[in-house]
Structure 1
Amino acid sequence: MVQTLIENPLLLLFLVAAVGYPLGRVKVFGMSLGVGAVLFVGIAVGSLHPDLKSPEIVYVLGQALFVYTVGLAAGPAFVASLRRDGMRNNMLIACALLCAGILCLVLKKSLGLSAGVAAGMFAGSLTTSPALAAVLDTIKQTALTEQLDRLLAEPVVGFSVTYPIGVIGVVLAIMLAQRIWKVDYQAEAASLRGHEDDTSKNVTCTFKIHQLDPPGSTVAELGALHNWKVLFGRIKRGDEFFMATPHTKLADGDLVMAVGDPEDLALVAKAFGERRRDIRIDRTEYEYRRIFVSNPTVVGRTIGQLNLRERFGEVVTEVRRGDDAYQPRAEMVLELGDLVRVLAHRDHMEEVCAFFGNSYRKVSEVDIMTFSFGLVLGLCVGLIPFPFPGGGTLKLGFAGGPLIVALILGTYGRMGGMVWTLPYSVNMTVRQIGLTLFLASIGTRAGYTFFQTLSRGGGLSIFLAGAAITFFASLTVLFIGYRFMKIPMSYLSGMIAGMHTQIAVLGYAKDQTGNDFPDQGYASVYPVATIGKIILVHIIVSSPW
């Protein structure tokens, strides 16, 4: 069986995924590993034989696909988070990494480790391959020829022993924190989305205006005056039905339909005077319909830019993206695959459908040209060597490059006729495939070396020292971030994954939270964490202490 798997790496890859994925759903004491179980199954299988591993291209491909799709989805929120509290969050991560670097130097001195092993241990416990590559590059440039092979092997040993605990330890830290603090992820998600965006509690009501104050006010004027967060739809005046616009002047006796949170609607009822059950409207005139956004000319534009009321006399009452529903606002940007609920005159409905596209097939497809071109840009950026102070170079690699480029492309959404974003369902599918490929491949590649090195003399002390660094960095950020800085766990777990630049942890965090906020936390600190760890590992390898 082992020989068969060695000769058929594709069979090995999907066997690990098929066994690991369902294991991740098994709960022990109310907790589960999620997609991270694929990594642990890969380590276990890979430990059976040195040749039992997936080709390197598999985990590189999986890693690139995963971080690129994460960046596309997180782009707009990433920019917003940086403006809001990005400096604070990055300072927290930078301080935690600095303390972890100091701890590594202390452990190096206490255990009598060489500089190369300590540098590899630091890189492995914080799962940063670019830092390991930077150390190896520095050694190649500075070491004597007769010592080169030995010095190059030292960081690899430290890295290989501590890398698995660098992943497992962070998962355990998050698991422990959410259990101790009894985190309510659903409540956090509702709070992070904001009251004006969450439509999960929205209801539709009809009001009769008894005495409008001030008389002759428009819908926009009343909304600004009372700070209402509701959406006005149909209006019945006498026997006439028409759509409300921001410029519509209301009058006493009007029957007005509004959609919003019950608390906001109560304020409207207090101002208008009477709440009715419904406006009885002839469906031969107006109708509701849910429409897929699949037209590329609409994607990447705000609802306000589309001039829907002027164009068709229709109103968007809700936007669904994945499992989340949002109350439409003028500045909201539409994405491929969004499901919009519109209210329009029957005579215009087909025209409205054609305008949005309404093709389920199109929102299930990938624009191979823009997707591939975006990935090419990201991979090329990852290959660019940036000069490093004191000698050496810094490369973002096949994870950092695609992530940075995807964040930029995701923020802009479109450039001319090129739409960079993916439909939500496609993004999630590609992301899941990429993560599974990465975890299964990296697990099989690390398994044998991990157990062999651990069984040799000195391997256990390196492993325990790496575990100490991993747990120290993770628990420090979790405790300070959640308890003192009041950062929501949904966001903080993504920051932890970003600090470790570890997509396996990000996958676990998303499984636990059930939302996409970990993506934003991950993307917001990833660049600082990557550069910070490369700087620190250079200090460790060159430190005389």
Structure 2
Amino acid sequence: MGIVRDHPELALFLSLAAGYLLGKLRVGPITLGGICGTLIVSLLLGTQHVSVGDDVRSVFFALFIFSLGYMAGPQFFANLNRRSLRFFVLCLVELVCVLGIAFGLAKFFDLDVGTASGILAGAATESAVVGTATEAIGKLDGLTASQIEQYQGHVATAYTVCYLFGLITIVIYTSQIMPMLLRINLADASREWWQRMRGNQGGLEAGQREAMPDVVGRTFLVTRADGRTVGSVQEALSGRVTVEAVQRGAKRLTPDPGLRLTLSDLVMVVGLRPDTIEAGREIGPETAAVPGLDTPLATQQVAVTDKATVGHSIDSLVARHPEFRKDGVYITDVVRGDQDIPAAPETEVRRGDILTLVGARAGLDRVVAKLGAVVKNDATDFIYLGFGIVAGSLLGQIVVKFGDVPLSLGTGGGCLVAGLVFGWLRSLRPTFGAYPPQAATTLKDMGLAVFIACTGLASGPQAWPLIKEYGALLPVAGIAMVLVPATVSLLIGNRLLKIEKPLLIGAIAGQQCSTPAITAITQVARSSVPLIGYTITYTLSNFLLPLTGPLLVGVLGA
């Protein structure tokens, strides 16, 4: 251990490597995850009095929390509308319950501010609360340096124990018990919902794609369409398919709407699979692929920025913009944040969504101009990133007093708010402030992992005494603080808000910010349908829950 104490960078990266390895271990549907594994390993190494400088922890936490806010920003502001209000209620239930239970436990059992904050962070399975609470404790008046260090250590230890039990509880409760309480088979209910949205096409299991893609091209031999124009054939098919190529003998013709087809012409059409099959009734028998007739389709990703587009379903969007059917452009995928959303006709498009469009190049360009801006894999704009973190850090220094209670966002809360605003501004005008999703995800994950490792190393000496002092209280608190808000949300969401049951189960996992839970849910559902509810509450809770750390510390510290 001597070499590790002398070289803290070894301890740091050993915590990351061994922690993520530990996090891969699976027991049934449960995996600890890399963050919890890192904290366990770093706490063990920390018992040998290995530590890393506090500045390292602060820098990486700022990177993590700003990146988290930046990625969530477009969807957070998009969700502040009447339609998402019922999902917002679930996040408020989570907020009130965890704060109330944590405060009640602190008063009833006379817990110190660090232990109470750690219970809140762990039971809510929200790692960001560890950072915001730890920072807030460091700013409390009247505490000595040793007390601050002790209480900050208690945050990490209580978080670890409560997280383990909270994680197991939320995964089992949402994926196994909630479907029984709602009296549904989650897989059947998800498939039925998907069929309603997709016009009776079957749903997909998580990680699957269609063996037969939605958008296809087929070639037909002209018999029935002899003497008709290309435009009249497309009109007869309600504009649902487009004629992309016509071959007459050895000559390839431009498929203008006025072009008159003759017997034995070869026609290639593109459209959704059911519509292209129907095209044979208007044109003639289908033929095998003809060399030289095939027309490559372009794929383009567009970020939705147009105000008139936001809030419309995909079906409504296609109806509002005739260019879709006229030019043969189709929406095949929707990405919201870092989640894939089913591109169903009823899927509502929101600002910042990334739509994958497939069609001819000229048609794509016209549609993109209507919806937003082409997504480019630009290099990270470090000017924008740097000023964003500076703005967040300055915002976090503002202290507001409510009576005798001093409240401030701290660097964590300030950077979270700045990230939300800067990410939202980028979505409004994606010509500046590039922060590619892969880069943002990497810095977010790396920032949190390093912060957690530093916290665990510093907290190691306080871990065992705290566990011995409180015994069964920490596991019981972790379980209770999951069951209470989840059960209340289940009742309110089902009976009062009338949220569709598969979406409700996903939304409850989202209000808990639990990625392992939604993973288990989608495995049971054999569908990505619950993700639709999850993305809304996950985005909102990712902003609201980190702010509970400074709030609880401020109230208890006073």
What TM-score results when the alignment is normalised by the length of structure 1?
0.67
Q: Which amino acid aligns with 1:175?
A: V
Task: Provide the rounded CA distance (Å) in 2 between the counterparts of 1:195 and 1:363.
Answer: 31
Match of 1:287 in 2: 296
Match of 2:166 in 1: 170
Q: Would the alpha carbon gap of residues 343 and 418 (structure 1) be closer, same or farther in structure 2, given more than 3 Å must change?
A: closer
Match of 1:496 in 2: 512
Task: Provide the rounded CA distance (Å) in 2 between the counterparts of 1:427 and 1:531.
Answer: 21
SS in 2 for 1:287: coil
Task: Provide the rounded CA distance (Å) in 1 between the counterparts of 2:344 and 2:146.
Answer: 62
Match of 1:204 in 2: 216
- Establish whether residue 365 from structure 1 lines up as the match of residue 374 from structure 2: no
SS in 1 for 2:26: coil
Which of 539, 543, 548 is the aligned partner of 1:523?
539
Which of 379, 383, 388 is the aligned partner of 2:397?
383
Contact 1:52/1:444 (<8 A) preserved: yes
Match of 1:55 in 2: 53
Match of 1:5 in 2: 4
Which of 388, 394, 403 is the aligned partner of 2:416?
403
Contact 1:74/1:519 (<8 A) preserved: no
Task: Provide the rounded CA distance (Å) in 1 between the counterparts of 2:233 and 2:459.
Answer: 63
Task: Provide the rounded CA distance (Å) in 2 between the counterparts of 1:96 and 1:37.
Answer: 21
Taking the TM superposition and a 5 Å limit, the aligned residue runs for 1:441-456 are 441-455=454-468
> Which whole-Å deviations, capped at 9, do the CAs of 1:78-117 have from their partners, x for residues lacking one?
3343326543233233334434455456545654x26857
Q: Which amino acid aligns with 2:296?
A: E
Match of 2:315 in 1: none
Contact 2:46/2:456 (<8 A) preserved: no
Contact 1:165/1:470 (<8 A) preserved: no
> Which whole-Å deviations, capped at 9, do the CAs of 1:279-316 have from their partners, x for residues lacking one?
74735x9534567x7xxxx87766999xx999xx9876
Q: Would the alpha carbon gap of residues 124 and 319 (structure 1) be closer, same or farther in structure 2, given more than 3 Å must change?
A: closer
Match of 2:271 in 1: 259
Task: Provide the rounded CA distance (Å) in 1 between the counterparts of 2:163 and 2:55.
Answer: 21
Q: Which amino acid aligns with 1:368?
A: F
Task: Provide the rounded CA distance (Å) in 2 between the counterparts of 1:219 and 1:118.
Answer: 72
Match of 1:39 in 2: 38
Q: CA deviation at 1:509?
A: 5.6
SS in 1 for 2:164: helix
Task: Provide the rounded CA distance (Å) in 2 between the counterparts of 1:384 and 1:511.
Answer: 41
- Establish whether residue 26 from structure 1 lines up as the match of residue 25 from structure 2: yes
SS in 2 for 1:419: coil
Taking the TM superposition and a 5 Å limit, the aligned residue runs for 1:428-443 are 428-443=441-456
Contact 2:416/2:543 (<8 A) preserved: no
Match of 1:234 in 2: 244
Q: CA deviation at 1:204?
A: 0.9
Q: CA deviation at 1:68?
A: 3.1
Contact 1:364/1:426 (<8 A) preserved: no
Q: Would the alpha carbon gap of residues 88 and 537 (structure 1) be closer, same or farther in structure 2, given more than 3 Å must change?
A: farther
Q: CA deviation at 1:6?
A: 1.9
- Establish whether residue 65 from structure 1 lines up as the match of residue 63 from structure 2: yes
Task: Provide the rounded CA distance (Å) in 1 between the counterparts of 2:285 and 2:242.
Answer: 14
Task: Provide the rounded CA distance (Å) in 1 between the counterparts of 2:52 and 2:115.
Answer: 28
Q: Would the alpha carbon gap of residues 300 and 371 (structure 1) be closer, same or farther in structure 2, given more than 3 Å must change?
A: farther
Contact 1:65/1:430 (<8 A) preserved: yes
- Establish whether residue 276 from structure 1 lines up as the match of residue 286 from structure 2: yes
Taking the TM superposition and a 5 Å limit, the aligned residue runs for 1:284-323 are 286-288=295-297
Q: CA deviation at 1:375?
A: 2.9
Task: Provide the rounded CA distance (Å) in 2 between the counterparts of 1:186 and 1:468.
Answer: 28
> Which whole-Å deviations, capped at 9, do the CAs of 1:163-210 have from their partners, x for residues lacking one?
22332233212332355258669969x959x75999844141448796
Q: CA deviation at 1:66?
A: 3.2
Which of 474, 499, 503 is the aligned partner of 1:463?
474
Taking the TM superposition and a 5 Å limit, the aligned residue runs for 1:117-156 are 120=117, 123=120, 126=124, 128-129=129-130, 130=132, 140=141
Q: Would the alpha carbon gap of residues 222 and 533 (structure 1) be closer, same or farther in structure 2, given more than 3 Å must change?
A: farther
Task: Provide the rounded CA distance (Å) in 2 between the counterparts of 1:185 and 1:70.
Answer: 34
Gaps of 5+ in 1: 349-355, 498-504
Q: Would the alpha carbon gap of residues 401 and 492 (structure 1) be closer, same or farther in structure 2, given more than 3 Å must change?
A: farther
> Which whole-Å deviations, capped at 9, do the CAs of 1:142-170 have from their partners, x for residues lacking one?
x7xxx989997996576455222332233
> Which whole-Å deviations, capped at 9, do the CAs of 1:26-46 have from their partners, x for residues lacking one?
322343223234334434433
Contact 1:482/1:489 (<8 A) preserved: no
Match of 1:476 in 2: 487
Q: Which amino acid aligns with 2:286?
A: R
> Which whole-Å deviations, capped at 9, do the CAs of 1:391-449 have from their partners, x for residues lacking one?
44433333333333333333343676852343333333333323332333333333332
SS in 1 for 2:296: strand
SS in 1 for 2:79: helix
Q: Which amino acid aligns with 1:365?
A: A
Q: Which amino acid aligns with 1:20?
A: G
Contact 2:118/2:157 (<8 A) preserved: yes
Task: Provide the rounded CA distance (Å) in 2 between the counterparts of 1:108 and 1:425.
Answer: 40
Q: Would the alpha carbon gap of residues 132 and 388 (structure 1) be closer, same or farther in structure 2, given more than 3 Å must change?
A: farther
Match of 1:353 in 2: none
Q: CA deviation at 1:14?
A: 1.1
Q: Would the alpha carbon gap of residues 441 and 161 (structure 1) be closer, same or farther in structure 2, given more than 3 Å must change?
A: closer
Task: Provide the rounded CA distance (Å) in 2 between the counterparts of 1:406 and 1:535.
Answer: 20
Contact 1:286/1:344 (<8 A) preserved: no
Contact 1:216/1:251 (<8 A) preserved: yes
The total of aligned residue pairs comes to: 488
**What do you get for the CA RMSD once the two structures are aligned?**
5.5
Gaps of 5+ in 2: 180-185, 310-320, 366-372
Match of 1:180 in 2: 176
Q: Would the alpha carbon gap of residues 521 and 403 (structure 1) be closer, same or farther in structure 2, given more than 3 Å must change?
A: farther
Q: CA deviation at 1:17?
A: 1.4
Task: Provide the rounded CA distance (Å) in 1 between the counterparts of 2:425 and 2:259.
Answer: 38
SS in 1 for 2:47: coil
Q: Would the alpha carbon gap of residues 446 and 115 (structure 1) be closer, same or farther in structure 2, given more than 3 Å must change?
A: closer
Task: Provide the rounded CA distance (Å) in 2 between the counterparts of 1:481 and 1:63.
Answer: 35
Contact 1:205/1:275 (<8 A) preserved: no
Match of 1:75 in 2: 73
Identity of aligned residues (%): 16
Task: Provide the rounded CA distance (Å) in 1 between the counterparts of 2:234 and 2:71.
Answer: 32
SS in 2 for 1:429: helix
Task: Provide the rounded CA distance (Å) in 2 between the counterparts of 1:249 and 1:178.
Answer: 58
Q: Would the alpha carbon gap of residues 378 and 241 (structure 1) be closer, same or farther in structure 2, given more than 3 Å must change?
A: farther
Task: Provide the rounded CA distance (Å) in 2 between the counterparts of 1:134 and 1:95.
Answer: 24
Q: Which moved more, 1:269-278 or 1:22-31?
A: 269-278
> Which whole-Å deviations, capped at 9, do the CAs of 1:230-252 have from their partners, x for residues lacking one?
564615497764468xxx68989
Contact 2:42/2:456 (<8 A) preserved: yes
- Establish whether residue 16 from structure 1 lines up as the match of residue 15 from structure 2: yes
- Establish whether residue 343 from structure 1 lines up as the match of residue 342 from structure 2: no
Q: Which amino acid aligns with 2:88?
A: N
Contact 1:71/1:403 (<8 A) preserved: yes
Task: Provide the rounded CA distance (Å) in 2 between the counterparts of 1:75 and 1:83.
Answer: 14
Contact 2:44/2:460 (<8 A) preserved: yes
